[in-house]
Amino acid sequence: MQSPNLVDANIVKIADLFPNCVTEDRDENGILRRVVDFDLLRQELSGCLVEGPQERYTLSWPGKNEAILTANAPIAKTLRPCEEESVDFENTKNIFIEGDNLDALKLLQETYLNKIKLIYIDPPYNTGNDFIYDDDFSEDTETFLKRSNQKDEAGNRLVANSESNGRFHSDWLSMMYPRLKLARNLLSEDGVIFISIDDNEVANLRKICEEIFGVDNFFANVVWQKKYAVSNDDPGIAPMHDHILVFQKSAAFQRFLLPRTEKQLVRYKNPDNDPRGEWSSDNYISNKSRYERPTLWYAIKHPKTGEDVWPAEDAVWRYSKDKHQQMVEENRLYWGPQESYEKPRLKRFLDEIQDGVVPSTWWTFTDVGHNDEGQKETGLLLGKKIFSTPKPVRLLRRILEISTCKNDIVLDFFSGSAATAHAVMQLNAEVCGDRKFIMVQLPEPCDEKSEAFKAGYKTIAEIGKERIRRAGKKIKEVNQITAKKFDTGFRVFKVDTSNMRDVYYTPDELKQGNLELFKDHIKHDRRPEDLLFQVFIDWGLNLSLPITRETIDGKTVFFVDTNALVACFDPGITEELVKKLAKHKPLRVVFRDDAFGSDSVKINVEQIFKLLSPGTEVKSI
């Protein structure tokens, strides 16, 4: 009932590479455990090991070691479904998680390991006015929050990272590092992450991404023109752009071409009725000088006058003499109507060029929108401009177009106004896609003086959920003919403490008077649905799998994806019920540990499944 311990996972990886470097010892309680023999590991790597004060290329900051520990430390938390805030809960494949994104990323490690094609995030830019998460797992959470006075009204860990803080950059890096480290695990081998950032932290962000993803997996630094006008009151040089850093999981990532626009296609015509169809003319002269490419500086014959035509003194032809002759024979040179041009143009036929445009690192506001456009989009949907700098849907659509296929999963764990979810639904509607989204947003309280609070939104998460609802409704209204094919719903989950009683996790603090707690090890406020999705997380099942409920022998039974999982959390489980469930031959079955009618029933359950459904994995919680 905990998220995976990534330290243990790392030891397994080391054991695969260097089995002789993994041994056993006993912990302080005398229990055997696997550990790394670092002396042997150093010996294995002695050819390239850097130790001690020797100089090396590295990025370090106060708190980096704690950030690494934070990423690896397991948590005893769960995701609780919230059907009343969801849309089409039973059928949708989309997910919205409300809670700390570090917790959410840890809870998703088993379920979505190597399954996310695209991650897009728009994290805090660390301008001094925004908030960052402050993570600490070395002491009791409540003690830490009370001591440091860093708990907001909703119980979230938030701290203003102003420049008066002596660790201005360090705190931001410590916040980002574990989240990016966990995010990398979720990416598929051909996956990619896009991260929006401004000049303030772009250098540091690139450094930690190079460390986490590898220097060779840097893919691009896109510069987005986020404004269309200069602020005349800016005291310095007015910033007109943001960066979008792009890192691939591995070389398996392949970017897609952008579709050609009407403006680009209008250039293709056929003025000379060439049987090969429409074409666009290109320059036949290269900007290389005759001194750089002397073999490309030669005379060609004008087809009308027969005179020699030379490139300019500071230029050369595009091709060699032999290649030029081939171009002439294939009628690929255009001299204008009635050969009126002094120099030829090169024909590039529409059916011979690649089916799309190679994306560049310069994205203008005319192509992908700007900040004001993002404001207007949210304003039109929600009634007021309640976000200052939401990303425009066109920007996110561009990212989706060049990095995803129609069935991929998209994750945004700083989802804010949920513009990413909006873009996913919009693109799906336009190209008949089936991309799925996972949004994660902290329930950060809205300032009581803000337009969002005045509009009735208490948290940023509430704004995001409402935007998805309204955007989905609008998309279906615009696409009524094919609306049934589009998934505009989403399942809401909220990060919460474990479903198990706290004593389940702290036996060292158990006292004689607390033994009564073991009579019911599950918290009293938890529903069967809460336990069901706890099992999803523990077993690594997709959170969007379809669920049906049936009543069998008076008990509520959940069937997940037909027979992927069968679960019953009602008390009084009988052998007759177990036999009926076994006839469905599920892959997995789960009950409450205290739900069996008697000890003999509990003992016989596994034997019944071994007899009637030997392939079923049986579990109790």
**Residue at 503 is within a domain:** no
- 64 part of a folded domain: no
Of 297, 326, 352, the residue at which a domain comes to its end is 352
Q: Is residue 145 part of a domain?
A: yes
pLDDT-based confidence at 449, cuts 50/70/90?
confident
pLDDT tens profile 384-396: 888 878 999 999 9
With cut-offs at 50, 70 and 90, classify the pLDDT of residue 503: low
Do 588 and 450 share a structural domain? Answer: no
Residue 197: inside a domain: yes
Q: Any idea which residue has 């540091």 for tokens? A: 204
Instruction: Say how many domains are in the chain.
Output: 4
The string of DSSP codes covering 98-133 is ES-HHHHHHHTTTTSTTTEEEEEE------SSSEE-
The closest of 7, 3, 41 to 22, measured between CA atoms, is: 41
pLDDT: which is higher, 191 or 164 = 191
In this structure, the answer to whether residues 294 and 168 fall within a common structural domain is no
* Boundary (domain end) residue, out of 294, 329, 352: 352
Same-domain status, 560 and 606: yes
Q: What is the pLDDT of residue 133?
A: 63
Give the end of a domain, one of 442, 460, 494.
494
Q: Place 512 in a pLDDT band, splitting at 50, 70 and 90.
A: low
Instruction: Say if residue 238 is in the same domain as residue 273.
Output: no
Residues 148 and 237 in one domain: yes
pLDDT in tens, 230-252: 988 888 899 999 999 999 999 99
Q: What is the mean pLDDT of the chain?
A: 88
- DSSP-H helix ranges across 364-516: 365-368, 371-382, 393-403, 419-431, 451-454, 460-478
Q: Do residues 556 and 598 both lie within one domain? A: yes
Provide the CATH number for the domain around residue 165: 3.40.50.150
Q: How far apart are CA 103 and CA 109, in angstroms?
A: 10
Q: Residues 519, 591: one domain?
A: yes
In a domain, 524, yes or no: yes
* Span 152-164, pLDDT tens digits: 444 555 555 555 4
Domain assignment of residue 502, yes or no: no
Whole-prediction pTM value? 0.84
In a domain, 109, yes or no: yes
Bridge-partner residues for 566, per DSSP?
A: 559, 589
Has residue 268 been placed in a domain? yes
Asked whether residue 249 falls in the same domain as residue 307, the answer is no
529 and 555 belong to one structural domain: yes
Average pLDDT over every residue of 364-391 = 90
Statement: residue 482 has pLDDT above 80: no
- The predicted structure's pLDDT at residue 502: 66
225, 365 contact by CB (below 8 A): yes
In this structure, the answer to whether residues 476 and 599 fall within a common structural domain is: no
Q: Is the pLDDT of residue 195 over 90?
A: yes
Residue 268 lies in domain: 262-352
At 585, the amino acid letter reads K
Within 10 angstroms of residue 170's Cβ, the number of other Cβ atoms is 18
Residues 380 and 343 in one domain: no
pLDDT score at 151: 47
Shared domain for 274 and 250, answered yes or no, is: no
